[in-house]
Amino acid sequence: MKAIVTGGAGFLGSHLVDRLLSEGYEVLVIDNLSTSTDKHLRAHFDDEKFKFINMDILDLDGLKREFSGFDLVLHFAANADIRHGLDDTWRDLEQNTIGTYNILEAMRVNDVKKILYASSAAVYGEPQTFPTPEDVALVQTSFYGASKLSGEALIQAFCEGFGFRGWMFRFVSVVGERHPHGVTFDFYHKLKNDPTRLEILGDGTSRKSYMYIDDCIDGIMLAYKNAKDKVNIFNLGWEEYMNVNKVADIITDELGLTDVKYEYTGGSRGWVGDSPLVHLSIEKLKALGWQPKVSSEEGIRRTVRWLRETGD
């Protein structure tokens, strides 16, 4: 099997590359390195089954040239900055929605029929049902969530129109080695700069699930191998959740810090579109045999240990 991974130099993407190569796939990574480097891929540079191309997914002609002869696309390239979506309303549309269209069109031209897509729990906005299942009504509260849902809709349209098969994954916050952004990363670096105080966006009460990277990759691959519908949509998360204050407590404990002063920016959320509770139902994927193994707390602790060991 020959697979393309867009965004393959990033956090999720590079872990997927590791897994695919370990399972015998030939892998082409397409990444413009705008928010990452190739350091997590360098171990594969001498592998004859691996190839890397520095390319932007907005280059449709380039994508059409490169997609010939492949069996599968794992589309994980995206702008992932939810917080600043209101500052530049074009960015999510361009990087996420138009970028996803380009991937699908390059697949169509080259008769590539299978796509795995990194969606997000953000497509749920602020649901009223918890744990939130895949079939609730979706009301958008962020440009990022809207762009991800638009990508899902485009995939479904290509599945109907051109015989594609799609696997779409709505993630909670993923933590672990190579973690490049998010609350764990931000808190670690804030405390590294000043171990006496920690600025927390919002009031510290927003609640989320955190999923360890290995559990995430296991879920993706299990769903791809076992879900047989034309369009397959799965939540990936944990059955537990915690508030932001608890995350801060875990990180300060892992760093051996005491008497850290938490300073809040005010309000019940960190930014517009920051849902006060993200708690997804994972029953659909569990029915296929998946079960996350690493707790949210342990995943956060492993992330902090990796950040300390690598200096990232």
Domain ranges of the chain: 2-174+210-236, 176-208+240-310
- Which pLDDT score is estimated for 273? 77
**Distance (Å, whole) CA 168 – CA 217:** 13
Q: Which two tokens stand for residue 25?
A: 């796939």
- Which pLDDT score is estimated for 129? 97
pTM higher than 0.85, yes or no? yes
Give the list of residues 6+ apart from residue 192 with CB closer than 8 angstroms, or none: none
pLDDT tens digits, one per residue of 228-275: 999 999 999 999 999 999 999 999 999 999 999 999 997 777 777 788
Which regions in the chain score pLDDT beneath 50?
none
- Which pLDDT score is estimated for 85? 64
**What architecture is the 2-174+210-236 domain classified under in CATH?**
3-Layer(aba) Sandwich (3.40)
**What architecture is the 176-208+240-310 domain classified under in CATH?**
Alpha-Beta Complex (3.90)
Report which residue type is found at 156.
Answer: Q
Indicate the average pLDDT of the chain: 95
Is 62 within 8 Å of 104 (Cβ atoms)?
no
| Angle subtended at Cα 176 by Cα 179 and Cα 252, rounded to the nearest 5 degrees | 90
- Which pLDDT score is estimated for 312? 78
Give the list of residues 6+ apart from residue 46 with CB closer than 8 angstroms, or none: none
Task: Please give the DSSP secondary-structure letter assigned to residue 142.
Answer: S
Q: Give the Å distances, CA to CA, from 122 to 12, 141, 146, 208, 272.
A: 17, 8, 8, 12, 12
Give the list of residues 6+ apart from residue 249 with CB closer than 8 angstroms, or none: none
Kindly report the backbone phi and psi dihedral angles of residue 59, in degrees, each rounded to the nearest multiple of 5, phi listed first.
-85, 85
- Which pLDDT score is estimated for 112? 98
Report which residue type is found at 80.
Answer: A
pLDDT tens digits, one per residue of 170-195: 999 999 999 998 999 999 999 999 99
